[in-house]
Structure 1
Amino acid sequence: MKASTKSVIIFMVVYLGSLSILATWVGYLYYIDRKNALIEKMHLEMRYKARSINAQLEYYHMNKSEQFTFYEEGYDIALYDNERELLASTFMDDIDFSKLFYADDDEYYLVETLYKEYLDVKYIVIKKPLDVQQLNEILEEITLIAFYGFIFILFVALLLAKIMLSPIKRSIASLTKFMKDATHEMNTPISTILMSYEHMDKHNLDAKQIRSLDRIDIATKTLSSLYRDLSFASFHDYIEYEDTPIDVKEVILERIKYMDTLIQFKGLKVSTALQPKTIYMDQRKLILLIDNLLSNAIKFSKKNGEIEVSLTENYFSVKDNGIGISKEDQKSIFDRFKSTNSLHGGFGVGLDIVNQICKEYHIKIELESEPKKGSTFRLVWPEQKFNK
C-alpha cells in the first residue's frame, strides 16, 4: 500500500470515526428529547381524559344514576374506590398507586386522585401505550439526516485529504523525477570506471597503489549496487522481467566473489553452508535480494568480524555480528528512505526493495537482531512457488 493511500485511509478513519461518534451521540440525544416530548404530550392528554371522565362521573352522580358507561378510543381506563378496590376497568393490570405517572415497558399509566368522590370513585387510572409509529418516524428522520450528513462529511473529508496531500504529492513527484534523472546520469560514469578498472594493468604496482585500486573497486561496486537499487525503485514498472529456473547456490557464490574486495578490506570472514536449491524467478531480482542482504551485513559488521551465509531447501539467511537493530527500529527498517543508523547510513532503499520482491514472490522475511549482537535476515521460500 502506498504511503499516500495509507495516510488518506488513516485520516478518513480518524476524521469520519470521530465525527460519526459525535453525530451518533447528538442523534441519540435528539431521539431522547423527541421521545420525552411525546411522553409529555401523552401525559397531558391522559390528564385531560381523566378530567373528562371525572366530569362524566359527576354528571351520572347528579342524575343519581349508578349505571354509567365510558369509552375513550386509544385508552384503557380503570376506576377505584377509596380503599383502592376495583369498581370498573377495561384492563386488569396491577397498579402502583404510589406514583402519579409511570411506565412499564412501553405502557404508561396515569393515576388521578379525585378530591370529590362521585359514585364512590376515588382514583381514575388511565393506561396508554407510547405511539410506536411516531417513534419510528423520528428514527426514520434521524436516519435520513444521518445519511445525507455522512455523504456531506465524506465529501468534505475527501476534499480536505486532497488539499492536504497535494503538496506532499508534488514533493514526492519531484523526488521521484530527481531519482530517475540521477539514476540515469549515474549509469555512464559507473560503467566507465568499472570497465577502466577491469582493463587496468595491475602488475608491477606497489602495495600503496594496490590499496588505492582496492578502494576504487569498493567505491565503484558500492555505487553500482546503489545504481541497481535506484534503477529498480525508479523503473521496475517499465522493465520487462522473466522468471526462469535459477541455481541459487551458484548465484550466492558469484555475489560473494563480487564483493570479495570489500570483504577483504574490512578483514571479514565469510563462512558458507550452502545446499543445492533451484527457484523460479527473475535472476536480476534474486541478485538484488542477495546483494542487499550481503552488503548490509558487510557494512554493519565489526572489523575482522564474521558473516554466516546459509542456504537450505527451505530458506536463505545472512547472519552478522555487527551493530544489530533495536526492537523499535525493526518495525520500520523495510520502509523506503528509513535508515536505522544516521552515522553508518543504510537501510534506506535496499531493504525496501527486498521487501517488495519478497512480497511479489510470496517469500517470508524473518529478522532476528539485538543491538551490539548482530542480525540474522532469513528468507523463507514458499514451497509450491519455487520447487521446480
Structure 2
Amino acid sequence: MVIVLTRSEKSALVRFLSLYLGSSFILLTIIAWLFYKVESNLYYDLITSNMKSVASKISSTIIYAHMTNQKINPEKIRKNIDFDFALYNHKFKRLVGNIEDDIDFTKKIKQYKNSFILIDDSALGHLGVNYVVIKENIFYKKILQLKEKIFISFLLIFAFLFVTGFYLAKMFIKPITNERLKLNNFIKDTTHELNTPITAILMCTSKGSSLSEKNLQRINLSAKRISEIYKDLIYLFLEDKKKESPKILKIDEILNEQIEYFKALASKKRIEIITQIEPTTFYIDKESFIRLSNNLISNAIKYNKIDGNVTIILKNNKLIVKDSGIGIDKKNLKDIFKRFYRANDVQGGFGIGLNIVYTICKEYNIDVDVDSTQNVGTTFTLTLNSTLTAQ
C-alpha cells in the first residue's frame, strides 16, 4: 500500500531521517576512527616487534659468526627475512645490504616516506658491524587495506541504517497517516450524509412545491435524520456531559417509540419490521439507550435489501436486532466497532454508529455478539448484564 504524505508529514519524515541519519553518521564516524586508531597501532606494534626480532637475530648471527671465526652470508640472511636490511660500521658506512636511504642514526626507529626503518646496535662491533638496519615495506599497504575495509564497511552499515531508518519512519508515521485518511473520509461521508436530508428538505420547500402530507413526512424524516447525525457527533466527539443520570428505565417502551419512527424510513425500502418485545427494565440513561438502539436499527435498514425484513427482539435480558441485508465478511467482523471503520462503500454512513454502540455497551456492562453471513444478513445480540436489570 502506497502511503500518500502531506507536506507536514513529509517535513516530519525528513526531519526524523535527518536527525537519525546525522546522529548515526557521527556515531559511525567516531567508531570508524577509533577502530582505525586501534588497528593501525596494532599493525605498527606487530611490524616493529617483528623488525626488532629480525634485527636481534641478525645481530646474534653476527656475534656467533665472530665467536666461531666464520663469515656472514648476506644473501642467506636476505632469504630468511621479509624485510630489507643493511649492516653499518661505527662510521655509519654501509658494509652490505640493499637499503639505499640516508639513515638518521640518532633515532632507533623512524618513518621514511611510506616505510619504517629500525636501527639495532646490539652487534657491538663484531665483524666490524655496529648497526643492523631493518626496513619494512608492508605497513603502508596494510594501512591502505585497513582504510578500504573501514570505508566499505562504513558505507554498507550506513546504507543499512538509512533503509532501516526510512522503514521505521514510514512505519511510525503510517498510523498517523491512516487516521488522517480516516478523518478525511469521515468528513466527506458526513458531508454526504448531511447533504441527502438537506436536499430533500430543500426540494420539498422549493417554489412550486406544495406542503402535502407526503412532503411534510419527507421533511420530518430528513429533519430527524439531521438531528440523529448531530446527536451522534455530539455524543462521540464532544463527550456531552449533559445527558441524564442513569436510572432504571422501561426500555421496552422507549424501543417501541423509536421503532415507530423507523417504520416510516423502512417503508421507503419496502422493509418489514418484525417485533417481539417484552416488558424489560434496565439501568441506563435514556439518551444512551436511544443512541444504542437507533444505531443498530438504522444500520439494519440501511444495509438491508429491498423487500427485506428487520427483526427486533427484546426478552430475557437480551436485545436482538436481525436483518436480511448484505451481511459482513467474516474477516471484517473484528474491526466493525472501530471508529471511522466501514466494511464497504456501497451504502451511506461514516463509520461511527457501531463505535457508539460499543462505547455505550462498555459503559453499561453490556455484552455484544455479532453473527453475520454475506448476502444473508447480520444479527446483533446484546446481553444486559447489569446487576440492576429487572424484569
Q: TM-score range by the shorter chain?
A: 0.3 to 0.5
Q: TM-score, normalised by structure 1?
A: 0.48
Which has the larger Rg? 2
Q: Identify the structure with bigger relative contact order (alpha carbons < 8 Å, sequence gap 6+).
A: 2
Q: How high is the TM-score relative to the length of structure 2?
A: 0.47
